[in-house]
Amino acid sequence: MQDYEVFVQQLITGLSNGMIIALIALGYTMVYGIIELINFAHGDVFMLGAFLALTLLGAFGMEAWSPAWKFAGVIMMLGGSALFCGGLNWTLDRVAYRSLRKASKLSLLVSAIGCSFICTNLGLFWGGLPMGVFAGGVSAAAPKDFPQITPQTNLLGESAIRITQADVMVFFVTIPLMIGLVLLVNRSRLGRAMRAVAQDSTAAELMGIPVDRVIGMTFFIGGALGGFASVVYSLYNNTIGFQMGYRAGMDAFTAAVLGGIGSLPGAVLGGLTIGCVRAMSDQYLESRWTNTIVFGILVLILIFRPSGLLGSTRREKV
């Protein structure tokens, strides 16, 4: 491949992975924007969504389906994982976070870390299911191969640059979801309630807004976005594991902070930035330096712009 072809190929890979990171980061930034909680369990909820998708794929034998039915299977996995992850995230809020909202931020943070460990262990147990897609459950901790059910043919024909249906799928799934989320937050009744609660939950409650319900819906929507991302990630990278939530969660959290925690466009920009930086670093430098470069960029940006690329400075709530 020519140098420019290598660059373009890595750019495609970086943007594809960056869109997935951005989708996860939106869940982080939505929750933080409304109750100022870093939901560290979010990455592990994303991981459980991937395990559900693999379970559905194996239970229904989607590998043997015709191309048209495989497309329907992808839709089923997207919907199933979104509902599952949204419901799980809502449950975490209802059981673990709601009673601590008036407690110290440290209590909420410790609770989120605890929920993360619980979800990680659920993934470990899930990986031991006696199913073919889980290798018969003989090694629960081992990474799982996610079967390729999207064609891997190059849509550009004989070109050295490869764009597959998996690349196209990433953008066709993530971009409408991001646009829909922006419209929801900015133009819907629920979105206005979210913004009101984020600005002043006490005043919003006095105005008749059901604050707990709005926060619960925020958790549900954030979890659903993680569920969509889990299926897209699995189909694109073809490997999942019970510890994948930590890596994906750290990338997404970093993206949210880089773009400006609480800013939806910032989360998208941060995700795309990290995806491209990782791809270029893996190609042109040694992969062992990738994390150093990513977090080095984050530190530099926060030194010169503490609120992130698109974040706005606001007073701390007391």
Q: Domain residues for 256?
A: 3-133+141-304
Domain count across the chain: 1
Q: Is residue 309 part of a domain?
A: no
The confidence band for 315, taking pLDDT boundaries of 50, 70 and 90, is low
Checking if the pLDDT of 317 tops 70, the result is no
Cβ-defined contacts of 60-65 (< 8 Å, 24+): 62/147, 62/149, 63/147, 63/149, 65/149
At residue 5, the pLDDT reads: 86
92 vs 53, 85, 99, 116, 197, CA distance in Å? 20, 10, 11, 10, 19
Checking if the pLDDT of 29 tops 50, the result is yes
Q: Is residue 17 part of a domain?
A: yes
Whether pTM exceeds 0.85: yes
pLDDT in tens, 171-191: 999 999 999 999 999 999 999
Say which amino acid occupies 231.
V
pLDDT in tens, 210-247: 999 999 999 999 999 999 999 999 999 999 999 999 98
Q: Is residue 318 part of a domain?
A: no
Reference 309, options 275, 261, 243; nearest CA is 261
Return the CATH number at 36. Answer: 1.10.3470
Q: Who wins on pLDDT, 266 or 262?
A: 266
Q: Is residue 312 part of a domain?
A: no
Q: In whole angstroms, what is the distance from residue 15 CA to residue 102 CA?
A: 40
Do 19 and 248 meet the contact criterion of CB atoms below 8 Å apart?
A: no
DSSP, residue by residue, 118-129: HHHHHHHHHTT-
Q: In whole angstroms, what is the distance from residue 262 CA to residue 308 CA?
A: 10
Q: Is residue 32 part of a domain?
A: yes
Q: Is residue 21 part of a domain?
A: yes
Question: Which burial class, exposed, middle or buried, applies to 106 when counting CB atoms under 10 A from its CB (0-12, 13-18, 19+)?
Answer: exposed
pLDDT in tens, 94-123: 999 998 888 888 888 899 999 999 999 999
Average pLDDT over residues 136-156: 87
Checking if the pLDDT of 84 tops 70, the result is yes
Q: Percent of the chain, pLDDT > 70?
A: 97
